[in-house]
């Protein structure tokens, strides 16, 4: 594409992204497409949305698969019962990016090491994306490690912060999920965050998706 489209006029469309697992978690026994999204899927969704956000000049459209009662769905419904899945909660958190100007983010954190089919493997330990609307900076961050928190210093270049809030979606169980009877097992918890001029310090819990809203001076 770099060779034939140097001005990046052609954009990418990512169709039906999302994880698919072995049978066992489906809402209706025997229907493998009705897998129940868990915190693991929420973390995956945050990782994916941040990837798209970091490349707005390349990605024109990306579609989650699916919307309801299916793989990676945002909602579950049956007759008169309805619940928002952990993936749906992540989409709620990332709405704050819509219509904003994407800004560059750089992350540095210890890598996650794990066993992949009997062989050692690793991937990044903290990642996210940022956008700006007037004097409000939106920063979404994913910590994919299932057991280790990440104490992090956030440096804002070219501006200073006067206030901030953070919404965090997490649970001690990576397989935690919302059900019709318990719809609020996984919902974002919002709190104020301490700011010190152009620097913020926050500890991102294990297996978490976070959304920061920072008011700039």
pLDDT for 8 equals 80
> What does the DSSP assignment read for 122-158?
EE-S-EEEEEEETTEEEEEEEE--SS--EEEEEE-TT
Angle at 164 between CA 162 and CA 167, to 5 degrees: 175
pLDDT for 67 equals 92
State which residues form the domain around 201. 101-216
Do 178 and 148 share a structural domain?
yes
pLDDT for 26 equals 76
Do 123 and 55 share a structural domain?
no
Positions in the chain short of pLDDT 50: none
**3-state class (DSSP) for residue 75:** strand
Q: Are 122 and 111 in contact (CB under 8 A)?
A: yes
Do 69 and 88 share a structural domain?
yes
Domain boundary among 67, 94, 121: 94
pLDDT for 30 equals 76
pLDDT for 55 equals 92
- How far apart are the C-alpha atoms of 215 and 212, rounded to whole Å? 10
Q: Are 142 and 46 in contact (CB under 8 A)?
A: yes
Do 105 and 49 share a structural domain?
no
- How far apart are the C-alpha atoms of 19 and 72, rounded to whole Å? 7
pLDDT for 101 equals 96
Q: How many domains does the chain have?
A: 2
**3-state class (DSSP) for residue 60:** strand
pLDDT for 33 equals 82
Do 31 and 116 share a structural domain?
no
Q: Are 116 and 214 in contact (CB under 8 A)?
A: no
pLDDT for 23 equals 77
Domain boundary among 68, 94, 120: 94
Domain boundary among 61, 94, 127: 94
Residue-wise burial string across 169-200, b where 16 or more C-beta atoms lie within 10 A, e elsewhere:
bbbeebebbbeeeeeebbebeeeebebeeeeb
pLDDT for 176 equals 96
Q: For residue 86, is it within any domain?
A: yes
Taking only the tens place, the pLDDT of each residue in 23-81 is: 777 767 777 788 889 999 999 999 999 999 999 988 999 999 889 988 899 999 988 99
Token readout for 113 is 């090491």
Token readout for 24 is 């066992």
Name residues whose C-beta falls within 8 Å of residue 198's C-beta, 6 or more positions apart in sequence.
155, 156, 157, 159, 160, 161
pLDDT for 70 equals 87
Number of other residues whose CB lies within 10 A of the CB of residue 111 = 12
Say what the alpha-carbon torsion angle 87, 168, 99, 54 is, to the nearest 10 degrees: -80
Do 200 and 167 share a structural domain?
yes
């Amino acid at each position: 594409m770099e060779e034939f489209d140097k001005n990046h006029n052609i954009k990418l469309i990512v169709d039906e992204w999302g994880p698919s697992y072995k049978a066992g978690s489906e809402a209706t026994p025997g229907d493998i497409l009705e897998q129940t999204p868990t915190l693991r899927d929420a973390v995956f969704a945050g990782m994916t949305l941040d990837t798209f956000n970091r490349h707005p000049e390349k990605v024109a459209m990306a579609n989650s698969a699916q919307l309801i009662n299916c793989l990676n769905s945002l909602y579950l419904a049956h007759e008169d019962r309805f619940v928002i899945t952990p993936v749906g909660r992540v989409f709620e958190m990332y709405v704050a990016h819509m219509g904003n100007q994407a800004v560059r983010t750089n992350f540095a954190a210890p890598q996650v090491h794990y066993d992949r089919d009997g062989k050692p493997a690793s991937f990044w330990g903290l990642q996210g994306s940022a956008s700006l609307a007037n004097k409000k900076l939106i920063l979404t961050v994913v910590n994919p490690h299932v057991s280790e928190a990440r104490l992090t210093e956030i440096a804002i270049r070219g501006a200073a912060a006067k206030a901030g809030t953070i919404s965090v979606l997490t649970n001690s169980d990576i397989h935690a999920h919302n059900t019709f009877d318990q719809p609020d097992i996984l919902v974002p918890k919002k709190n104020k965050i301490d700011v010190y001029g152009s620097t913020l310090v926050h500890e991102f819990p294990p297996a978490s998706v976070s959304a920061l809203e920072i008011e700039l001076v």
